[in-house]
Amino acid sequence: MKRGLVIGKFLPIHEGHVALIRFAAEHCDELIVSMSYTPLDLIDPALRLSWIKAIFQDYSSIKPAMVLDDFDDESMPLPERTKVWADFIGRTYPAVDIIFSSEEYGEPFAQHLGAVHKAFDPQRKYIPVSATKIRQHPFRYWNYIPPVVKPYFVKKICFYGSESTGKSTMAKRMAELYQTEFVPEVAREIISSNVFTLEDIVTIGYAHAARIEEKARIANKILFCDTDAITTQIYSVHYLGAVPEVLYELERSVRYDVYFLFDIDVPWVADDLRDLGHQREAMFNVFKKALEVRNIPYILVRGTYEERETLIRNEIDSLLQ
Burial class (CB in 10 A: 0-12, 13-18, 19+), 199: exposed
* 62 HSE (CA, 13 A, CB side): 24
Q: What's the pLDDT band for 136 if we cut at 50, 70, 90?
A: very high
pLDDT, position 226: 96
Mean of the per-residue pLDDT values of the chain: 94
Are 174 and 73 part of one and the same domain?
Answer: no
For range 174-189, the mean pLDDT: 95
Q: Domain range spanning residue 63?
A: 3-144
Are 280 and 300 part of one and the same domain?
Answer: yes
Are 269 and 296 part of one and the same domain?
Answer: yes
Furthest C-alpha separation in the chain: 79
Are 265 and 196 part of one and the same domain?
Answer: yes
Helix and strand totals (H; E) in the chain = 13, 10
- Domain's final residue, options 97, 121, 144: 144
The SS3 of residue 222 is strand
Q: How many Å apart are CA 171 and CA 181, to the nearest integer?
A: 9
Q: Quick check: bond before 12 cis, omega within 30?
A: yes
Are 207 and 99 part of one and the same domain?
Answer: no
Query: The domain spanning residue 68 has which CATH number?
Result: 3.40.50.620
Residue 222 CA, chain-centre distance (Å), reads 11
Q: What's the pLDDT band for 273 if we cut at 50, 70, 90?
A: low
Q: Which residues of 139-155 are buried (b: 16+ CB within 10 A; e: fewer)?
A: bebeebbbebbbbebbb
pLDDT, position 275: 64
Residue 30 lies in a domain: yes
Are 137 and 18 part of one and the same domain?
Answer: yes
Are 136 and 160 part of one and the same domain?
Answer: no
Angle at which helices 78-92 and 106-113 cross, to 10°: 50
**H or E segment to which residue 295 belongs:** none
pLDDT, position 57: 97
Angle at which helices 246-253 and 229-240 cross, to 10°: 160
Return the closest-CA partner of residue 146 out of 134, 156, 137, 155.
134
CB-CB contact of 259 with 296 (8 Å) = yes
Residue 74 lies in a domain: yes
**Dihedral angle computed from the Cα positions of residues 202, 203, 206 and 208, in that order, rounded to the nearest 10 degrees:** -110
How do residues 4-14 score in pLDDT, each as one tens digit? Answer: 999 999 999 99
Are 210 and 82 part of one and the same domain?
Answer: no
Residue 280 lies in a domain: yes
Q: How many Å apart are CA 225 and CA 247, to the nearest integer?
A: 17
- Cβ atoms < 10 Å from Cβ of 61: 14
- Domain's final residue, options 113, 144, 175: 144
How many structural domains comprise the chain?
2
Are 51 and 89 part of one and the same domain?
Answer: yes
Residue 149 lies in a domain: no
Are 18 and 87 part of one and the same domain?
Answer: yes
* pTM of this structure: 0.89
Query: The domain spanning residue 176 has which CATH number?
Result: 3.40.50.300
Residue 131 lies in a domain: yes
- Domain's final residue, options 120, 144, 168: 144
Whether the predicted pLDDT of 277 surpasses 70: no
The SS3 of residue 220 is strand
How do residues 48-74 score in pLDDT, each as one tens digit? Answer: 999 999 999 999 999 999 999 999 888
Residue 274 lies in a domain: yes
How do residues 215-269 score in pLDDT, each as one tens digit? Answer: 999 999 999 999 999 999 999 999 999 999 999 999 999 999 999 999 999 887 7
First CA to last CA distance, the chain: 49
Provide CB contacts within 8 A for 284, sequence distance 6+: 161, 162, 263, 264
Residue 80 lies in a domain: yes
CB-CB contact of 294 with 255 (8 Å) = no
Q: How many Å apart are CA 151 and CA 221, to the nearest integer?
A: 8
Helices (H), 93-153: 106-113, 131-136, 150-153
CB-CB contact of 243 with 233 (8 Å) = yes
181-183 and 62-68 strand pairing: unpaired
Residue 299 lies in a domain: yes
Helices (H), 35-118: 45-55, 78-92, 106-113
How do residues 187-222 score in pLDDT, each as one tens digit? Answer: 989 987 778 899 999 999 999 999 999 999 999 999
Are 232 and 289 part of one and the same domain?
Answer: yes
Are 242 and 174 part of one and the same domain?
Answer: yes
